[in-house]
Every structure is written in C-alpha cells, then in structure tokens.
Amino acid sequence: MKTRTKITIVAAILALAAVGCQGPQTTTPAVVTRDHTISVEELARQLGLRIDDRDETFVVLRDAANTVLIFTHSDGRFFVNGTPIGTVGTVRKVSGTVYVSESLAAQIKPHLGTSVTPARPQPRPARGIVVIDPGHGGHDPGAIAVTGIHEKIVNYDVAQKVAAILRRRGIEVVLTRQGDVFPELEARAEIAARRNADLFVSLHADSAPNPSAQGFTVYVAKTASADSQRAARDIARAMATTGLESRGVRQENYRVLVTNRRPAVLVEMGYLSNRQDALRLQDSAFQDKLAAAIAAGIIDYLQ
Ligand SMILES: [Zn+2]
C-alpha cells in the first residue's frame, strides 16, 4: 500500500515534469528519459520481442522461442523463459507508460534463446500430470447457491468433466477427492508435490452478498511462480469463450495455493449467489462447455 502510494506520487511528479518539459512543437515523446530509463515498448523493440500481455504489475514480452516476464515495480524481478534472472531496479510509470532501467536489455539478452523452428511451431501433443481439486466436499458444502445447490457438487461435476477431457488427450489426471469426502487442504496440495504435477487446478464457485456480482475469476498466490501466472492467464483466456463474465486473473493467498509447491491456480467458476451464474453452473450442458474451456486452457499451458 505504502509503495503503491509512493509510486503514484512519483508518477504524478514525473507526469507534471514531463508536461513542463514538452515544447509545443514536440509531437512524439522521447523514448529515452532521464536516469537512463527506457519504456518497456522500447525494451521490447531492442530485444526483438512483442508485448504479449500486461497489467498493473507485470508485462510479458514474447517471441516464438522466448518469454520474458517483468514485474513492473521497483523491487520486482524478471524471468527469462521461466528462470528468475534478477531484479528490475528503477521503475517509473509516467502517464501509463512504464520506464525501466535501460541496462535491463543487456541483462536479458544473453538469456534469450534462438528459435530453430518456424515462427509458428506445430502444436505438440500435450503431455503432463495435472491435479484437479474439486473444492470442499463431505462436511463442507462450500457456498450454497440461490437455487439451493451446494458448491461442492458443482465443483465435483465440473472436475470430473475436465478430467475426462484431459485424459482423452493423453494427459494424466489425479483428482484430490473421489466422491463426497473432505481431504485437508494441505493434503490436496501435497498430492501435487508427490506426483510432481505440472499443474494443480482447484475448482470452486463464488458467493457474494451482492446478488448481481457474477463472472469467473482465476486466482494465483501473491508469490506465484511465472508458471502459475501463465497457467492462470491461459485458463482465463479460454474461459472467456464460455459467455461467463471474466473478472480476470487475481492474486490471493488461498491456503491450497500458498502451501502448494507446484504451479497452482484456483478457479472461481462463477457466482452461486447470482441467479444467472448459478443456473449455468448447475446445468450439465453448460458444465460441458465450461469443462472444455478449462481443459483447453490447461492444454495451452502444457504445450
Ligand atoms: Zn469454494
């Protein structure tokens, strides 16, 4: 909170300074600014990568062979192809543009691989081990829908469908519970570690006092690995095709995520406190569509 306030103030001061510096004849902003910083757009250009994704806290630069993830805050780290390389150092945000130290380009460059395949590689068959965790169960019903159905039932039904689709694609799936029982949260996370799973996906459905709140959210822990974040984005992107409203990827330290030693995401598939979402989530045909989307996102991540 403090840091954010500080950044906002710095950004505001810089924005004012920038306005003050601009002569009326200036039509394009200078790329290189004071303190040897460059915009992330310029950084991407220097590295020959495109900006593939970004939000308030991170930016992803990518080409066919490389993924560079940069957390755009002053103590943020950067990753090249999933490996943490270093800290970002100076970061300034001016009028929506993020400026980072120009030395970042030189730090990142040696870690970039060259692609030996054409720019658009053939899709490889997905392989891997995925743990699907139907949330709640047994004595714990989870949220109770406006329609009366229990969250644990919805979670379990969708989990079974996701598992079936993934298995048909040759992916090994482990479910954290069989039937209406309640394994402890740590035990669920432990299954992923024991199986050395490529991904752990916990399935839930939301509830809120406001009955108009609706849509799905994909969560990762606040300390989530680059892999977890990539999986969350792949799943959220696929789920957006179902017609459910997308609340995007968010960070929350859910126990099943923070105790997880493998890449892990938690999907809130919709709001059971919202009539439209609840009716969809308990409808078998919609569950098929939803499960297909979640499975597609998981397969994207595995490829
Ligand atoms: Zn839940």
Closest CA to 174 of 159, 185, 184, 154: 159
Per DSSP, the chain holds a count of helices (H) and strands (E) of 9, 15
- Biggest CA-to-CA distance, the chain: 70
pLDDT at 89 over 90: no
Q: Which chain residues have CB less than 5 Å from ligand 1, an ion?
A: 135, 142, 204
Q: What is 2-111's CATH topology?
A: Copper Amine Oxidase; Chain A, domain 1 (3.30.457)
Per domain, the residue ranges of the chain are: 2-111, 129-302
229's enclosing H/E stretch is helix 226-239
pLDDT tens sequence across 213-258? 999 999 999 999 999 999 999 999 999 999 999 999 999 999 999 9
CA distances from 287 to 4, 143, 223, 262 (A): 40, 17, 31, 27
39's enclosing H/E stretch is strand 37-39
Give the Å distance between the CA of 266 and the centre of ligand 1: 9
Q: Out of 34-43, 274-283, 287-296, which region has the weakest mean confidence (pLDDT)?
A: 34-43
pLDDT tens sequence across 164-206? 999 999 999 999 999 999 999 999 999 999 999 999 999 999 9
Q: For domain 129-302, is the CATH number 3.40.630.40?
A: yes
Give the Å distance between the CA of 215 and the centre of ligand 1: 14
User: What is the residue-averaged pLDDT of the chain?
Assistant: 86
Closest CA to 86 of 62, 65, 106, 66: 106
Q: What is the mean pLDDT of residues 64-75?
A: 81
Give the Å distance between the CA of 144 and the centre of ligand 1: 10
Compute CA 62 distance to the chain's CA centroid, rounded to the nearest angstrom: 16
Would you say 68 and 62 are in contact if contact means Cβ atoms under 8 Å apart? yes
Q: Can you give the pTM of this predicted structure?
A: 0.61
* Residue 303, number of CB atoms within 10 A of its CB: 13
Give the Å distance between the CA of 143 and the centre of ligand 1: 6
Distance between CA atoms of residues 288 and 171, nearest Å: 18
Would you say 196 and 262 are in contact if contact means Cβ atoms under 8 Å apart? yes
Give the Å distance between the CA of 214 and the centre of ligand 1: 15
pLDDT reported for residue 68? 86
Block residue for tokens 């949260």: 185
Give the Å distance between the CA of 142 and the centre of ligand 1: 5
Distance between CA atoms of residues 19 and 244, nearest Å: 42
